[in-house]
Structure 1
Amino acid sequence: MKNVLKLLTFDVNNTIIKVRHSVGHHYSKTASAFGVEADPAKVQSAFLEAYREQKSTQPNYGDGLDTTTERWWTDIVKKTFILQGHSNIETLEQIGAKLYQDFLEPSYWDVFPDVKNVLSYLNKQGMCVGVISNFDERLIQVLKNLELAHHFSFIIPSIFAKYQKPQPQIFQKALDLMKVAPNECLHIGDSVKNDYYAAQDIGMNALIIDRDGTLQRNHPDINRMHFINNLEDLKQFVDSS
């Protein structure tokens, strides 16, 4: 990076953590405890359909609407199982409420193996590190439960920011909070649209975490030097800054 970096910001899901197994796995396992049997793979497919619909009609977890994030997610759970032919709404409400709490638990998440070492390195180097994520208010507790929160100077979930990536306002909140210029910040995430281009559009440096090489193959137009397959690669940018 040509400019001296003063701030590194990270996306969360599929950048530093990921859902363990799959959402469909957890949904079907919890549903089974309530007497609702469903195939995890089919539940995963139905979940993705319900999730896309919910994001489209009620963006940013229903922020600004007369609802709560728990209600938002419970409605997704209901839609997921209704798509699978289940119709006992009371039971589906109970499943949704249980899952909303359970996704706070560390056992529902995996931390990528490179994350803690790299965050510790950045902290030791005196680098300011933060989080910008399209996530609900549980994010802070999830990161605390995974013993990651203490590495960050700030954590900005979109539900609190009132904006979602790729909207520039959520990035601007981080810049204003730390009083840094956009070109003094490097953002790292796994979404070409929400992380890479969105950060660049506001003047920030940006890298794409691409652990299996899929994104680089699908986006040959992007400078290959802007892809990293491991967060360990960040050390060279910090050292060179």
Structure 2
Amino acid sequence: MLRLRLLTWDVKDTLLRLRQPVGESYAAEARAHGLQLRPEALSHSFREAYGAQSRRFPNYGRGQGLSSQQWWGDVVKQTFRLSGVHEDGVLTLMAENLYRDFCSAHNWEVLPGAAETLRQCCQRGFRMGVVSNFDNRLENVLSQCNLRHHFEFVLTSEDAGFAKPDGRIFKKALRLGGVPPEQAAHVGDDYTRDYRAAQAVGMHSFLLRTAGQGEEPEVPPEHVLPTLSHLLALIEKG
């Protein structure tokens, strides 16, 4: 059995997922302002705007003096501009509304098995924390989705100043948890940012891989979670 004291968790697509595609949420907001826009086109515009903003201002512009609200506001406005909306007042209003909406359970849902797995891990006495490439709304999102109470700390990339796979965010989590890396394991769904990055600082690592995802050859089967419900059995076997 692995001698683990601390479990750290990714959030998006590990514990929570969006209730609907981004384009659907943006189209609903546009309709509230009398604009008819196709969700698929908005999803495409969003990917383009988000990608460009991420390259220009990594980690929500944390190192360049932006707040995450400014960062996201620019992404939202650019998404709508790429879809043909150019009225500044409407763009500002939609950006404010969507920033607020994505801070609540209105747009997020808990993945199957997540709440039960977290509860069981707490019962077994594991200390728990979050390590997520998220902005500072995450505390509120987790509270709204009734998961926050499971965690001793919530470490976002905006707060830390480093984004996964940068090892410094994991080292900060280990300091917050007060354990050496060999007594900690990280659970996430991204091979590079979660699985490999945690291993690189000496932590154990589990990769949530749902059916249909690509196979990365270097992941031993005892590190792969078909669902979160498999976690405790793998820890106890390890």
TM-score interval (norm. to shorter):
over 0.9
Does structure 2 retain, via aligned residues, the 8 Å contact 1:175–1:182?
yes
Matches within 5 A, 1:211-230: 211-216=210-215, 219-230=216-227
For 2:29 and 2:16, locate their aligned partners in 1 and report how far apart those are by CA, in whole Å.
Answer: 21
Q: Is there any run of 5+ residues in structure 1 with no aligned partner, and where?
A: none
* Alpha-carbon shift at residue 183 of structure 1 (Å): 1.2
| Structure 2 equivalent of residue 51 of structure 1 | 50
Distance in 2 (alpha carbons) for counterparts of 1:174 and 1:66: 24
CA contact (8 A) 2:7 2:186 kept: yes
* Structure 2 counterpart of 1:82: 81
Distance 2:195 2:226 in 1: 15
Q: Which amino acid aligns with 2:133?
A: N
Number of residue pairs aligned between Structure 1 and Structure 2? 238
Amino acid at match of 2:51: R
Q: Deviation of residue 93 (structure 1)?
A: 1.2
Partner of 2:230: 233
State the shift of 1:240 in Å. Answer: 4.0
Q: Would the aligned equivalents of 1:213 and 1:229 in 2 still touch at CA under 8 Å?
A: no
In 1, Cα distance between the equivalents of 2:13 and 2:208?
9
| Distance in 2 of aligned mates of 1:39 and 1:105 | 24
Report how far residue 229 of structure 1 moved.
1.3
Cα displacement (A) at 1:214: 1.0
CA distance in 2, matches of 1:202, 1:162: 17
Partner of 2:65: 66
Name 1:40's counterpart in structure 2. 39
TM-score (norm 1): 0.95
Q: TM-score, normalised by structure 2?
A: 0.96
Map 1:95-114; keep pairs closer than 5 Å.
95-114=94-113
User: Per-residue displacement from partner, 1:160-203 (whole Å, max 9, x unpaired)?
Assistant: 11111000110001111122111111101111110011111111
Check whether the contact 1:135–1:157 (CA below 8 A) recurs between aligned residues.
Answer: yes
Distance 1:65 1:31 in 2: 30
RMSD: 1.3
Summarize deviations over 1:59-113 as a string: whole Å, max 9, x none: 1111032322111111101111111122112211110001011112212111012
For 1:239 and 1:153, locate their aligned partners in 2 and report how far apart those are by CA, in whole Å. Answer: 22
CA distance in 1, matches of 2:46, 2:230: 34
Tell me the distance in 2 between the aligned counterparts of 1:66 and 1:129.
31
Give the whole-Å Cα distance in 2 for the aligned partners of 1:237 and 1:185.
14
Looking at structure 2, the residues matched to 215 and 36 of structure 1 have their Cα atoms a distance apart, in angstroms, of: 38
Alignment of 1:1-241 (within 5 A): 3-216=2-215, 219-240=216-237
Between 45-54 and 64-73, the greater mean CA deviation after superposition? 64-73
Mapped to 2, the partners of 1:153 and 1:239 lie a distance apart of 22
SS at match of 1:214: coil
Q: 1:103 to 1:144 in 2, by over 3 A?
A: same
Look up the equivalent residue of 1:135 and give its one-letter code: F
- Cα distance in 1 for partners of 2:65, 2:173 equals 27
Cα distance between partner residues in 1 of 2:35 and 2:70: 20
Distance 2:235 2:125 in 1: 10
Residue pair 2:6, 2:128 contacting (<8 A) in 1 also: yes
Secondary structure (helix, strand or coil) at the match of 2:146 reads: coil
Query: Could you tell me which amino acid in structure 2 is paired with residue 109 of structure 1?
Result: W
State how far apart, in whole Å, the 2-side matches of 1:239 and 1:175 are. Answer: 22
Moved more, 175-184 or 126-135: 175-184
